[in-house]
Amino acid sequence: MNDKQFWSAFGGITAGLALLLGYLIFSEIQSVDTAQAEVVSLRDQIKRSRTTVQSTPEVEQEVIILREISDRIREILPDTKDLNNVIRDFQEYMQEAGVSSQGFKPTSRSNARQRTRSAFERVSYQWRLAGDTFQVLDFLNRIETHSRFMAVSSLSIKSANRRQILDEGLASHTIVLDVETYKYVPPGANEGEVEIRSYERKRDLLSGKIGVRRQALNLQTYRYQGPRGRRDPLVDPRVPARVDDPNAWTVQRQQEEVDELVARVEEAQGYWAASIAAKSVLERMVQRSELEKLILRIGEDLRRIEDEGRITYRPARKRLDTMVGEPLEVLRLALDRSKAIEGPSATALQTVGDTMVGYIEALEYDYALDAFDAIEDSLELLVDDPEREELADWLLLLCEEATILRDFSQIEFQVGGVAIIEGLQPVIIIDGKRRTVGDLVGDELVVHGVRPNEVDFIFRGAIVTREF
């Protein structure tokens, strides 16, 4: 090997060694950087772990509190199945408050992404209603006092115009409101709960905080007091009242009187509904008897108001016609039609008779007469029906008997003693006077027979007995 070849070989070896050394140095530097990054990552993990360890007691406490109040949360927040019941409650509230529905639609629901991050899913509905201010307030009060959490997020009102009030007699405002609630869907509800060591002891230590959180979930409620004599603030005050008529009441008095008559007509409609739903013949007859009396009283009051010209306020006049006069006539016709078609059946007559006999035997004469009063007006319908006519005659006799016994029981007198001697007329001392068979006591009693402990009288053609 000459010198040139030697130095060439030496240079190649040196370059290779330099490259190898450089690679080793680079690899080592890269390893150091990686190690440093791992150290930083480990430090972050340690820091986070320390934070988690430090916060674990607080997280644990929150979990315990939520577990203990979850039953109350479920009470005030409906689940998916209960949402249908909430809607039915709304419909029932509208009927009770007197508002009418003009439309209903769900407005929004939380999406799946939101539900994964929260146990509470917002559910909202929009209702379009019609009614006066006080009916709407009544409806809102019912929502407020609902056992479930409810909130009215928005409300808009368009008041009734003057022409509509004059034509219909009612202020029917248009109301649009958004009502929202929340559905409780706990995350991982289908998974098993994480076990917490010494749960009962930790729960007892947190009893105060649990009580505070539970109390915070109680819904505050208020009782709506009604209009209390106030006018509807959304009604156009220019609606003419024509109170210049000297016979007319004030506008407020007219409205109050009509309200009272409307309430009594609704009561009468309740009697009619109860008579239809009655399970026994006697109950049905009692309900219809009360209905007849109420219809007569309302009719008399209505005629008096008409004759005196008390109602001149046009809206009140309209309500009087549409909500008192017309429904009253419908009830009267329905009652007359039921009498004409049905009349009391043989079973009904027998039931009343048996009831009267029971009361008479129990000395409850007034109750017996009340049972008869419930059917008396219907007896005139029993024409050309021998079976029912015979039963009607029996009821008339029972009524007469109950009346005689009731009146006789109300007569007061004192028996001082009796003397019964064989072969002689028995003698009885009544109110200090000596009486015998055939003698008159008072204006209507005639002594008929005397025995050691009782005396028979003839009273209104019947023989009755008084013990002493």
213 part of a folded domain: no
pLDDT for residue 318 is more than 60: yes
Residues 426 and 459 in one domain: yes
Of 2-11, 30-39, 327-336, which has the strongest mean pLDDT?
327-336
Nearest to 262 by CA among 220, 188, 310, 318: 318
Q: In terms of residue numbers, what domain contains 170? A: 82-184
Residues 98 and 171 in one domain: yes
- Region 165-180: mean pLDDT is 74
**Of 104 and 405, the one with more pLDDT:** 405
- The answer to which of 65-79, 122-136, 193-207, 409-423 has the lowest mean pLDDT is 65-79
36 part of a folded domain: no
Centre a 10 Å sphere on the Cβ of residue 420 and count the other Cβ atoms it contains: 12
Residues 102 and 145 in one domain: yes
Kindly provide the b/e burial profile for residues 169-207, where b requires at least 16 CB atoms within 10 angstroms of the residue's own CB.
bbbbbebebbbbbbbbbeeeeeeeeeeeeeeeeebeebe
Residues 379 and 437 in one domain: no
Per-residue pLDDT at 126: 86
Residues 323 and 372 in one domain: no
Given a contact cutoff of 8 angstroms between Cβ atoms, the answer to whether 466 and 455 are in contact is yes
Residues 421 and 463 in one domain: yes
Percent with pLDDT over 70 in the chain:
60
Burial degree of 104 (CB within 10 A; 0-12, 13-18, 19+) = middle
- HEC string of the chain? CCHHHHHHHHHHHHHHHHHHHHHHHHHHHHHHHHHHHHHHHHHHHHHHHHHHHHHHHHHHHHHHHHHHHHHHHHHHCCCCCHHHHHHHHHHHHHHHHCCEEEEEEEEEECCHHHHHHCCEEEEEEEEEEEECHHHHHHHHHHHHCCCCCCEEEEEEEECCCHHHHHHHCCCCEEEEEEEEEEEECCCCCCCCCCCCCCHHHHHHHCHHHHHHHHHHCCCCCCCCCCCCCCCCCCCCCCCCCCCCCCCCCCHHHHHHHHHHHHHHHHHHHHHHHHHHHCCCHHHHHHHHHHHHHHHHHHHHHHHHHHHHCCCCCHHHHHHHHHHHHHHHHHHHHHHHHHHHHCCCCHHHHHHHHHHHHHHHHCCCHHHHHHHHHHHHCCHHHCCCCHHHHHHHHHHHHHHHHHHHHHHHHCCCCCEEEEECCCCCCCEEEECCEEEECCCEECCCEEEEEEECCEEEEEECCEEEEEEC
Quickly state the pLDDT bin for 14 (edges 50, 70, 90). low
Reported residue count of the chain is 468
Nearest to 323 by CA among 308, 302, 344: 302
Residues 362 and 392 in one domain: yes
308 part of a folded domain: yes
**Of 247 and 307, the one with more pLDDT:** 307
327 part of a folded domain: yes
121 part of a folded domain: yes
pLDDT for residue 97 is more than 70: yes
pLDDT for residue 112 is more than 50: no
State the CATH number of the domain containing residue 165: 3.30.70.60
Question: How open is the CA angle 9-10-15, to the nearest 5 degrees?
Answer: 100
Q: How many domains does the chain have?
A: 4
Q: What is the CA radius of gyration of the chain?
A: 45
**Of 150 and 70, the one with more pLDDT:** 150
**Of 186 and 90, the one with more pLDDT:** 90
Last residue of a domain, one of 136, 164, 184: 184
**Of 123 and 63, the one with more pLDDT:** 123
Given a contact cutoff of 8 angstroms between Cβ atoms, the answer to whether 222 and 148 are in contact is no
Residues 328 and 376 in one domain: no
pTM: 0.40
Residues 280 and 323 in one domain: yes
CA–CA gap between residue 65 and residue 347 (Å, rounded):
65
393 part of a folded domain: yes
3 part of a folded domain: no
- Distances 417 to 385, 437, 443, 466 between C-alpha atoms, Å: 52, 15, 21, 13
- Average pLDDT over all residues of the chain: 75
Residues 405 and 374 in one domain: yes
Given a contact cutoff of 8 angstroms between Cβ atoms, the answer to whether 352 and 368 are in contact is no
**Of 440 and 56, the one with more pLDDT:** 440
Per-residue pLDDT at 402: 92
Write the pLDDT tens digit of every residue in 32-64.
556 566 656 666 665 565 554 444 566 667 666
Last residue of a domain, one of 134, 150, 184: 184
Last residue of a domain, one of 365, 394, 409: 409
**Of 46 and 29, the one with more pLDDT:** 29
- Region 276-301: mean pLDDT is 82
Per-residue pLDDT at 53: 44
**Of 372 and 193, the one with more pLDDT:** 372
Percent with pLDDT over 90 in the chain:
2
Residues 318 and 364 in one domain: no
Quickly state the pLDDT bin for 83 (edges 50, 70, 90). low
Centre a 10 Å sphere on the Cβ of residue 255 and count the other Cβ atoms it contains: 20
Per-residue pLDDT at 282: 72
31 part of a folded domain: no
Residues 107 and 178 in one domain: yes
Per-residue pLDDT at 422: 79
- Region 441-463: mean pLDDT is 87
Q: What are phi and psi of 334, to 5 degrees?
A: -65, -40
- The answer to which of 141-150, 182-191, 289-298 has the lowest mean pLDDT is 182-191
